[in-house]
Each structure stands twice: as structure tokens, then as C-alpha cells.
Structure 1
Amino acid sequence: MLFRTMLIASAFLTVAPVAAQAQAQAKDGVTYSPAYELCWNKPENSNTYGILRCGEAELAVQDARLNKAYKADMADLADSPEAKASLLKAQRAWIAFRDADCATVRALIGGTAAPIYLQNCHLEHTARRAQALEDLLKP
């Protein structure tokens, strides 16, 4: 119980302005669209509804990025059925991991902040996976 309380307190203490958060995450290999930072910087988005609206829009961007990279990788692997099967298996495993990992976040973070943390979890996982898929077959 103490660990959970410390985790939640730590999560709330690390909430920083979005520009700083986006820069820190970019350093960790997570890249978001410029529109995401612009959305966060609008005064009308400084509440839960605005934060979720910005996140929803960015999640759509990152999901499209992920799908484009996945389709390109699968097309590049057209001559290798074994590699295509492996990528499909990996993608399904990644989806299961993302869902389980974000379910853990949701279970640990309660209250009105839970939707924001859950959305951020999905967003970060999706952006990281999109980047991994984009990098997969680079020469």
C-alpha cells in the first residue's frame, strides 16, 4: 500500500508543463507531432477536457503513423512469409503488452487523473512502437 501511495504521489509531482514533458519524452525516443504541443499551449486546453482532447487528437496521429509503418514493413517483407508471420506475431504481442501495461497504470492511478494517465500510456506506447516500426527495415 505504501508503494502505491508513493507511486501516485510521485506521478502527481512529476506532472510538468507539456512543452517540458514533450521535450523530455523526445529525448527518450518518443516523438510527438508539433500540433500536439500547440494544442497543449492553448489556454482553453488547460483543464482535463482539453488535455484529453489534445491527447485524443495526437493518439489518432500516432496510430496512423504506426499503421503506415506497419503496412510498409509488411510490404517490404512480401518475399519472406516467415518474416511477415514474425512481424504479425510481434505486433499482436505488442498490442497485448500495451493493453496490459496501461491497465496496470489505470489500476494504480485512481480518481479524476486516471483518464489522463491512461491516455498518456496509450499515446507513449503507440509513439514508441511507431518509431520502432519505422526504424525496423531502415538500411
Structure 2
Amino acid sequence: MRQLLLLCASMASFSCLNIHTVIAASKIQLAQKLNCNNAQTQLEINRCAQLSYQNADQKLNKLYQQLLPKLSRSRKQKLIAAQSAWIQFRDASCEFEKSEYEGGTIAPSIYLGCLEKNTKQRTQELQGYLQADL
């Protein structure tokens, strides 16, 4: 009976905590422990893959925003259409690549790695456009 009362008391004190505070604290703890050069668990590998892809995506978007104002109206519209089609293709292609591992814990890192690889390739293409005589 005493153990049940202790359990209820601890649950009551936990329920008083703001769930966002608990989530934020766990994210901070994960970020502090995360070493992408030596990820030990699949969760860490997936999180590192996510961070790596986000970094590549930020570089792509920055370059894209630098390129757009340098183009004529007609070419700008064509690049916007091409970029939209490329994003759809990239995402569908990476979904296909991930499908081999569907349901497995490695599937997210396969998908994110594919996104990163394709995003870096597209960044190089846009860099070439930016450096070319427009």
C-alpha cells in the first residue's frame, strides 16, 4: 500500500510539470550528449543524419536565393519551376531508396542521407549557374 501511495505521489508531482519543459530538457540533454563523429545508437545516427541534411538544405536555399535576383524574369520562372520539380523528384527518389528498409530503425537515416546527397549535388549545379555568365 505504501509503495502505491509513493507511486501516486510521484506521478502527481510529475503531472504538475509542464510537458514542454520536460520535452525541452530532454532535447537539451540529447544535444549535449550528441557526438556525430562517434554516434553510438540508431537514434543518434538518425539525429546526426537529420542535422547534416538540414545543413545541406540551408546551403542550397542560400545559394538559390542568391541566384534568383541575377536571372531575367523568364529564366527566373523557369528556375522556380525546375526547382519545384527537382524537390518532388528528390523526395520521391529518396522515398524509394528508403523503402528497402521500411519499418526498420535505419530507414530514417537512409532517407535523410539520400536527401543530403541529392541536395549537395543540386547545390553544385546551382553554384555552376551562379558562376556562369548569366
Matches within 5 A, 1:55-74: 55-74=49-68
Give distance in 1, aligned partners of 2:75 and 2:111. Answer: 32
Larger radius of gyration: 2
Distance 2:128 2:45 in 1: 29
- Equivalent position of 2:124 in the other structure: 131
Percent identity over the alignment is: 34
Q: Secondary structure at the match of 1:112?
A: coil
Residue 40 of structure 1, CA deviation: 3.5
Distance 1:113 1:53 in 2: 11
1:124 & 1:76 partners in 2: Cα distance?
Answer: 26
What's the TM-score, normalizing by structure 2?
A: 0.66
TM-score (normalizing by structure 1): 0.64
Paired with 1:59 and 1:105, the residues of 2 have a C-alpha distance of: 16
Unaligned runs of 5+ residues in structure 1 are 1-38
Q: CA RMSD in A?
A: 1.4
Total equivalences in the alignment: 97
> Distance between the aligned counterparts of 1:58 and 1:114, measured in 2?
16
**Structure 1 CA distance for aligned equivalents of residues 65 and 113 of structure 2:** 24
